[in-house]
């Protein structure tokens, strides 16, 4: 029986056995003094019950149960585990079993002593289903057998369990389930200290005869922590927790899967369980801090927005640094916020060149592989997940109240007068009319309070059904998210439907279908946060009819009411379909299979907006309406040929790929002004003025050939060779194709005969080097591209179309691939029998021929052009640690830590060794820096300013550093003020369980990062325009000679800015859960109920004031940072939620 869903579990099992075996084979002989009572966190009967260490490779073991396992990549070949060929005459059963195991990946459990009783086997079969072959093989044997998953357990016929003579014997029955309530098949159930035992069936049930009540039973399964329980006559219900030992999990790699111990590259994984402890509707949020080297920046915290992601820093200066995302094998071009996190089975992050090389073309920025949940054979399962939460602004600004504001305005006026040699006017003369009026009346408005929504609700519900039988499995899920923003009018709704079907058509043909349908709605016109921050507390809010006062401070153009467009309509709906279907063919050559996958990404975005005469934006034109539509359609066809064989100690896995991909984005826009009535956007033809029509098309195509060879010898010397050739349409027709090779090797040192350490149970060294490409530029950069620009001759008549070239419109005819060569050295280790697992990776990358939006002198007629120029390098270190601090029956404590350091540097720009300081690109410095004048204080009265390097400065002005010491401030005094991208990131998680309780908390932070400090830059608050300011800023006045913040009247020289260390440390998620299980639930046919309380963004330690210390605007196209406005970004919410997860 093939159970699709359990593929990973099976793999896990086999892997662990494998290790166990190899440990036994190669290492245990050196395990001097090994004792049973030593700490062992592998299921005891597999490894630790050995008392005698054999002196040569084991073939036969004196075990209650012995398992042989295939030394191949079973998990990757689930497709051909169905069918075997045997041609033997009078062969020993042992040989046959080994051969079957080799071909099929099935594992045999048996007691060696019975083999002696076996009859010789003669059989001639060709490509027959294994079940039938096994039936034939054992037809004439003194054994019965039982197939569970891929495990075949042999027992002698009529075996009678020998036990000590108990006083009372009976039949003990029960069921074994996992923490989620799912039945666990294949669990070994043994009587402690005796040979008697059984395994659970597919429904997790077991039955043991003649076992006395109170006898200790040992329940164990690879991948789970074993458990000892006294037998009861009442049906037993045993919960086996998943083993925390991640040493040998199976990892989804590109175009296949590998067990972690076989990896040569640097790949990190996140399981659905890891995702569970962070309660967010967005999968990217859930990943933050979980993977060393994955930098996630929640630059925009608004509902539905996706954080920016970088794998191992940034290589590219102006092409995209976004990693490639693959969903179930197909490149995913949608937004990560489209994905319902509960439908994700696991995520792999491919980091080094060797692991990403198979995706050569877009892989230089790393690859994120998302595998969605699939059904598993067995009883249908129903699962409900849901939570409800409330959100509040986590950190608001301490703005001035009315009297403070008046003082600030007066200070500003005094200072202006002092500087101009006049006398300060009276408040009624400089305050805006409304402000003066409100100040007289003493009516203040708390503008933050007006725009923020307190206790903004969020709820998410997901219901899934899954199940199947040996030939077909299904998984279906529907999910709904309804999130209000902490800023009014910024709601987000999402609907997801997922379907996953797998069908075996015959023993050699399999097909599957995966489909994700999503819709998300973003409606409403959000108030302007910036205006709320800067509005005078004495501004007028609303009139007696509740209508907004368009300009609260009076007809002052810079600061309209935050809700000036409140009456406008804005509807945005995104719909997408991500679907793929595959056909997997087992070819008539041993180990050879072919898989073809066709996938589509269809994304549709519709927006409709109407700004009527009653809105600020629409009043001037008697209302305007706009409808936009974007239809994006990509298809990908991947054809994969896999050859997978073992020859004794040699294992080989060869993959060949041909892939084609096309992407097409069509845009339309309709616009009109001047409507008779404000009637929305559905009747744009009623516009009397300025009708506009736009349509556009962007298409790209990619062709790829790839080959990969994985070779391993004795499971300890591993080699991976990869080559990929890619052709991309957007490059110059002469330079479309490029080849990206890589090589990687690994050495499992701990498997070596000479290696003997009780401290270290696993040690592996990985080395890789490879080249990757980056194609991430927009299409058509090789062409000159006109913009349309309209004009009208005369006072009547029609507009004419004009053509003009913008400043980035000139094509570069010689564009080609950007390529990154990277070296990675990694060490995986397990200490104290895997109580501590971890890895350390060091990498160095060099990127050449950068696809750079190059800044050129405007005399060219353009000032930016995409070119292949420049070089960068990245250097980094990543540490990943998982520790099991306490493991007791009732209490466990696990911790994990991820740490990453990345530093990058521009090595070359235009080839002449010169930097471009205006663009902030300095050779020898990181890619994303602030390059500016350095403020070292404030000029004070009494300073000898006239003889200083800033002779024109006035007391209260910022004192700039004369970096080059030439006695004057010039552009040469600009210096590096810090990097926009964190150099260090750290995530620490802790999980505690006590009986049914679980407590997890997760903290993360980023360090070595700088933001523009808009708060110290008083001018940006435009005091002259009556804007408010922060109440806790110590600004300079003659009476308050601050050295921190300059005078409000100071206009920054050469428009210099201020900068702040934006490091933060955040208590991100705290979850307390309780899981109910038991008979009462059984009666209700409920497997388990997990309830939890979660707190997100509980507290943030940082110097940055305000809404979001991570604030970062990024380019839509490249994801690269554009600005770091910490003044008025969308606030990060603090969320408290209550959730439940029910399994039926």
Partner 1 sequence: MTKRIIYSALLALALSGCKKSFLDEDTSGFLSPENSYTSTAGFEAGLNGLYAYARLEFQTWDFAGSLFTQGATPQEALQIGTDIVLTKTDGTDGSLLPFQNYTLDNNSSYVRNYYKFGYGLIANANTIIHALDNNEISWDDPENDPQRVRATALFFRAYGYRYLINLYGDVPWVEEVSPEPRTDFTRMPKMEVMQHVIDDLKYASENLPDNPDALEDGKLTKWAALHYLAEDYLVLHKSDSAIIAAKQVVESGRYHLNKTRFGAEKDQDGDAFHDMFIEHNQNRKSGNQETIWAIQLEYNVQGGGDLYTDWSKRAWVPFYANLGGFTLADSLGGRGLGQLRPFDWWLDSYETKDMRNSEYNIKRNWYYNDPASPLYGKKVNITEDMKRTGKVYPTTTKFFYGKTADNPAYEGNMKDRVKIRLAETYLLLAEAYLQQNNKSAAAEAINEVRARANASPIDAAKVDVDYLLDERARELLGEEMRRMTLSRFGKEVFLRRVTNLNPASKPVVKDFNFLWPIPQEVIDANSGAEFPQNPGYN
CB–CB of 1018/1047 below 8 Å? yes
CB 704 → partner 1: shortest distance, Å? Answer: 11
Q: Which is nearer to partner 1, 6 or 959 (CB)?
A: 959
99 three-state secondary structure: helix
CB 487 → partner 1: shortest distance, Å? Answer: 24
Q: Which is nearer to partner 1, 30 or 581 (CB)?
A: 581
Helix (H) or strand (E) holding 211: strand 205-212
Q: What's the full length of the chain, in residues?
A: 1144
Measuring CA to CA, which residue among 805, 815, 813, 814 is closest to residue 785? Answer: 805
Measuring CA to CA, which residue among 223, 219, 313 is closest to residue 260? Answer: 223
CA distance 1123 to 1114: 7
CA distance 302 to 1108: 11
Burial 879-893 (b: 16+ CB within 10 A, else e): bbbbbbeebeeeebb
734 burial via Cβ count (<10 Å: 0-12, 13-18, 19+): exposed
- With a CB cutoff of 8 Å and minimum separation 6, the contacts of 85 are 103, 125, 126, 127, 128, 590
Question: Look-up: residue for tokens 């007809």?
Answer: 555
- With a CB cutoff of 8 Å and minimum separation 6, the contacts of 965 are none
Q: Which is nearer to partner 1, 532 or 922 (CB)?
A: 922
Q: Which is nearer to partner 1, 270 or 553 (CB)?
A: 553
CB 515 → partner 1: shortest distance, Å? Answer: 23
CB 560 → partner 1: shortest distance, Å? Answer: 8
CB 784 → partner 1: shortest distance, Å? Answer: 5
Contacts 24+ apart (CB under 8 A), 130-134: 130/81, 130/82, 130/83, 130/84, 130/100, 130/104, 130/106, 131/1, 133/84, 133/86, 133/100, 134/100
Alpha helices in 37-194 (DSSP H): 44-47, 93-104, 112-115, 130-138
CA distance 913 to 929: 18
Give the gyration radius of the chain's Cα atoms: 34
Q: Which is nearer to partner 1, 547 or 885 (CB)?
A: 547
Q: Which is nearer to partner 1, 159 or 1019 (CB)?
A: 1019
CB 638 → partner 1: shortest distance, Å? Answer: 10
CA distance 944 to 946: 6
Measuring CA to CA, which residue among 462, 280, 285 is closest to residue 1094? Answer: 280
Q: Which is nearer to partner 1, 25 or 507 (CB)?
A: 507
CB 381 → partner 1: shortest distance, Å? Answer: 35
- With a CB cutoff of 8 Å and minimum separation 6, the contacts of 128 are 83, 84, 85, 507
Q: Which is nearer to partner 1, 596 or 990 (CB)?
A: 596
CB 356 → partner 1: shortest distance, Å? Answer: 22
CB 1051 → partner 1: shortest distance, Å? Answer: 7
CB 362 → partner 1: shortest distance, Å? Answer: 16
Q: Which is nearer to partner 1, 453 or 736 (CB)?
A: 736
Q: Which is nearer to partner 1, 474 or 1059 (CB)?
A: 1059
CA distances for 517 relative to 115, 285, 467, 512, 981, angstroms: 54, 21, 20, 17, 34
Going through 469-568 in order, the beta strands assigned E by DSSP cover 472-483, 492-506, 509-523
Q: Which is nearer to partner 1, 728 or 1036 (CB)?
A: 728
Q: Which is nearer to partner 1, 554 or 984 (CB)?
A: 554
CA distance 306 to 119: 64
CB 334 → partner 1: shortest distance, Å? Answer: 21
CA distance 142 to 161: 16
Question: Look-up: residue for tokens 């602004």?
Answer: 393
Q: Which is nearer to partner 1, 440 or 454 (CB)?
A: 440
Tokens coding 927:
């890619």
User: How many CA atoms are closer than 13 Å to the CA of 608, on its beta-carbon side?
Assistant: 10
Alpha helices in 390-452 (DSSP H): 402-420, 427-430, 433-441, 447-451
Measuring CA to CA, which residue among 849, 775, 778 is closest to residue 809? Answer: 778
CB 779 → partner 1: shortest distance, Å? Answer: 7
CB–CB of 150/105 below 8 Å? yes
Q: Which is nearer to partner 1, 725 or 1091 (CB)?
A: 725
Tokens coding 554:
């009076």
Q: Which is nearer to partner 1, 148 or 702 (CB)?
A: 702
CB 799 → partner 1: shortest distance, Å? Answer: 3
CB 619 → partner 1: shortest distance, Å? Answer: 5
CB 789 → partner 1: shortest distance, Å? Answer: 4
CB 598 → partner 1: shortest distance, Å? Answer: 11
CA 972 centroid distance within chain: 41
CB 818 → partner 1: shortest distance, Å? Answer: 18
The residues pairing with 20 across neighbouring beta strands, listed in sequence order, are: none
Q: Which is nearer to partner 1, 508 or 1035 (CB)?
A: 508
CA distance 175 to 164: 24
Q: Which is nearer to partner 1, 990 or 1123 (CB)?
A: 1123
CB 643 → partner 1: shortest distance, Å? Answer: 13
Q: Which is nearer to partner 1, 1024 or 1041 (CB)?
A: 1024
CA distance 815 to 818: 9
């Amino acid at each position: 029986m093939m159970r699709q869903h359990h593929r990973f579990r099976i793999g896990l099992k086999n892997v662990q056995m494998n290790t166990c075996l190899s440990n036994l084979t190669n290492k245990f002989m050196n395990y001097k003094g090994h004792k049973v009572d030593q700490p062992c966190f592998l299921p005891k009967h597999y490894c630790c019950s050995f008392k005698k260490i054999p002196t040569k490779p084991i073939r036969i073991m004196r075990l209650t149960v012995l398992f042989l396992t295939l030394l191949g990549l079973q998990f990757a070949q689930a497709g051909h585990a169905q069918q075997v060929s045997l041609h033997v005459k009078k062969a020993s059963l042992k040989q046959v079993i080994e051969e079957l195991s080799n071909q099929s990946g099935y594992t045999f459990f048996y007691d060696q002593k019975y083999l002696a009783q076996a009859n010789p086997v003669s059989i001639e079969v060709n490509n027959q289903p294994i079940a039938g072959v096994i039936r034939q093989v054992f037809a004439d044997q003194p054994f019965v057998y039982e197939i569970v998953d891929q495990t075949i357990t042999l027992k002698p016929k009529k075996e009678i369990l020998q036990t000590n003579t108990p006083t009372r014997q009976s039949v003990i029955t029960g069921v074994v389930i996992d923490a989620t309530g799912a039945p666990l098949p294949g669990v070994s159930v043994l009587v402690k200290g005796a040979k008697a035992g059984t395994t659970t069936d597919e429904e997790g049930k077991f039955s043991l005869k003649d076992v006395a009540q109170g006898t200790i039973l040992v329940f164990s399964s690879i991948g789970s922590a074993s458990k000892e329980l006294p037998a009861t006559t009442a049906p037993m219900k045993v919960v086996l927790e998943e083993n925390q030992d991640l040493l040998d999990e199976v990892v989804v790699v590109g175009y296949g899967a590998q067990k972690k111990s076989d990896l040569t590259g640097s790949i990190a994984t996140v399981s659905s369980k890891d995702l569970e402890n962070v309660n967010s509707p967005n999968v990217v949020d859930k990943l933050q801090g979980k993977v060393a080297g994955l930098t996630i920046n929640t630059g925009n915290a608004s509902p539905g927005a996706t954080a920016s992601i970088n794998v191992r820093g940034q290589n590219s200066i102006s092409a995209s640094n976004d990693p490639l995302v693959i969903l179930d094998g197909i490149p995913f071009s949608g937004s990560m916020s489209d994905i319902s996190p509960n439908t994700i089975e696991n995520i792999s992050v491919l980091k080094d060149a060797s692991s990403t090389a198979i995706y050569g073309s877009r892989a230089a920025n790393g690859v994120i592989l998302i595998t969605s949940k699939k059904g598993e054979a067995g009883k249908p399962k129903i699962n409900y997940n849901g939570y409800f939460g409330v959100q509040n602004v986590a950190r608001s600004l301490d703005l001035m109240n009315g009297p403070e504001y008046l003082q600030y305005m007066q200070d500003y006026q005094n200072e202006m007068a002092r500087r101009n040699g006049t006398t300060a006017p009276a408040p009624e003369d400089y305050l805006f009319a409304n402000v003066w009026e409100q100040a007289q009346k003493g009516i203040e408005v708390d503008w933050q309070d007006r725009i923020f929504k307190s206790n903004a609700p969020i709820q998410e519900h997901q219901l899934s059904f899954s199940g199947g039988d040996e030939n077909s499995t299904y998984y279906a899920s529907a999910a709904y998210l309804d999130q209000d923003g902490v800023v009014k009018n910024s709601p987000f709704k999402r609907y997801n439907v997922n379907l996953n079907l797998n069908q075996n058509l015959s023993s050699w043909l399999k097909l599957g279908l995966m489909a994700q349908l999503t819709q998300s709605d973003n409606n409403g016109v959000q108030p302007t946060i910036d205006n709320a921050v800067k509005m005078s507390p004495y501004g007028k809010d609303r009139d007696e009819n509740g209508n907004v006062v368009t300009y609260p401070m009076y007809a002052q153009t810079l600061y309209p009411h935050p809700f000036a467009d409140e009456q406008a309509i804005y509807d945005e709906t995104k719909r997408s379909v991500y679907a793929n279907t595959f056909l997997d063919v087992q070819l008539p050559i041993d180990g050879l299979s072919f898989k073809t996958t066709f996938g589509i990404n269809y994304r549709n975005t519709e927006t409709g907006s109407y700004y009527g005469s009653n809105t600020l934006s629409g009043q001037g034109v008697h209302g305007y309406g706009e409808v936009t539509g974007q239809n994006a359609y990509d298809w990908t066809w991947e054809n994969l040929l896999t050859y997978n064989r073992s020859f004794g100690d040699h294992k080989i896995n060869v993959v060949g790929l041909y892939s084609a991909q096309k992407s097409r984005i069509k845009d339309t826009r309709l616009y009109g002004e001047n409507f008779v009535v404000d009637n929305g956007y559905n009747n744009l033809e009623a516009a009397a003025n300025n009708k506009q029509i736009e349509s556009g098309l962007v298409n790209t195509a990619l062709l790829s050939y790839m080959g990969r060879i994985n070779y391993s010898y004795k499971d300890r010397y591993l080699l991976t060779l990869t080559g990929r050739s890619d052709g991309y349409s957007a490059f110059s027709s002469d330079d479309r194709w490029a080849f990206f090779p890589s090589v990687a090797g690994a050495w499992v040192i701990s498997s070596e005969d000479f290696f003997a350490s009780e401290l270290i149970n696993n040690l592996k060294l990985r080395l890789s080097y490879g080249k990757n490409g980056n194609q991430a530029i927009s299409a058509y950069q090789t062409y000159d591209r006109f913009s349309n620009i309209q004009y009208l001759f005369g006072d009547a008549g029609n507009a004419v179309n004009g053509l003009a070239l913008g400043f980035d419109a000139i094509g570069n005819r010689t564009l080609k691939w950007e390529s990154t060569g990277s070296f990675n050295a990694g060490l995986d280790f397990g200490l104290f029998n895997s109580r501590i697992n971890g890895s350390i990776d060091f990498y160095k990358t060099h990127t050449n021929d950068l696809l750079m939006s190059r800044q050129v002198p405007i005399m060219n007629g353009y000032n930016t052009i995409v070119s292949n120029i420049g070089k960068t390098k990245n250097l980094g270190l990543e540490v990943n640690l998982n520790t099991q601090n306490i493991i007791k029956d009732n209490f466990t404590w696990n911790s994990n830590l991820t740490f990453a350091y990345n530093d990058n540097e521009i090595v070359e720009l235009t080839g002449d060794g010169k930097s471009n300081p205006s663009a902030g690109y300095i050779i020898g410095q990181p890619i994303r820096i602030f390059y500016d004048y350095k403020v070292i204080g404030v000029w004070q009265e009494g300073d000898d300013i006239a003889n200083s390097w800033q002779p024109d400065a006035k007391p209260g002005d910022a004192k700039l550093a004369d970096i080059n010491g030439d006695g004057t401030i010039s552009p040469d005094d600009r210096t590096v003020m810090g990097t926009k991208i964190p150099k260090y990131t750290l995530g620490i998680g802790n999980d505690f369980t006590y009986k049914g309780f679980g407590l997890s908390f997760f903290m993360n932070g980023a360090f070595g990062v700088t933001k523009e400090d808009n708060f110290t830059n008083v001018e940006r608050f435009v005091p002259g325009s009556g804007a408010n300011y922060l109440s806790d800023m110590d600004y300079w006045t003659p009476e308050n000679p601050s050295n921190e913040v300059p005078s409000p009247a100071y206009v920054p020289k050469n428009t210099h800015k201020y900068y702040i260390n934006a490091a933060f440390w955040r208590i991100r998620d705290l979850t307390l859960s309780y899981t109910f299980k038991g008979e009462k639930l059984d009666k209700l046919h409920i497997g388990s109920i997990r309830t939890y309380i979660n707190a997100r963004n509980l507290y943030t330690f940082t110097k940055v004031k305000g809404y979001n210390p991570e604030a970062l605007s990024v380019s839509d196209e490249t994801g690269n940072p554009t600005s770091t406005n910490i003044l008025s970004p969308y606030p990060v919410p603090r969320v408290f939620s209550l959730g439940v997860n029910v399994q039926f």
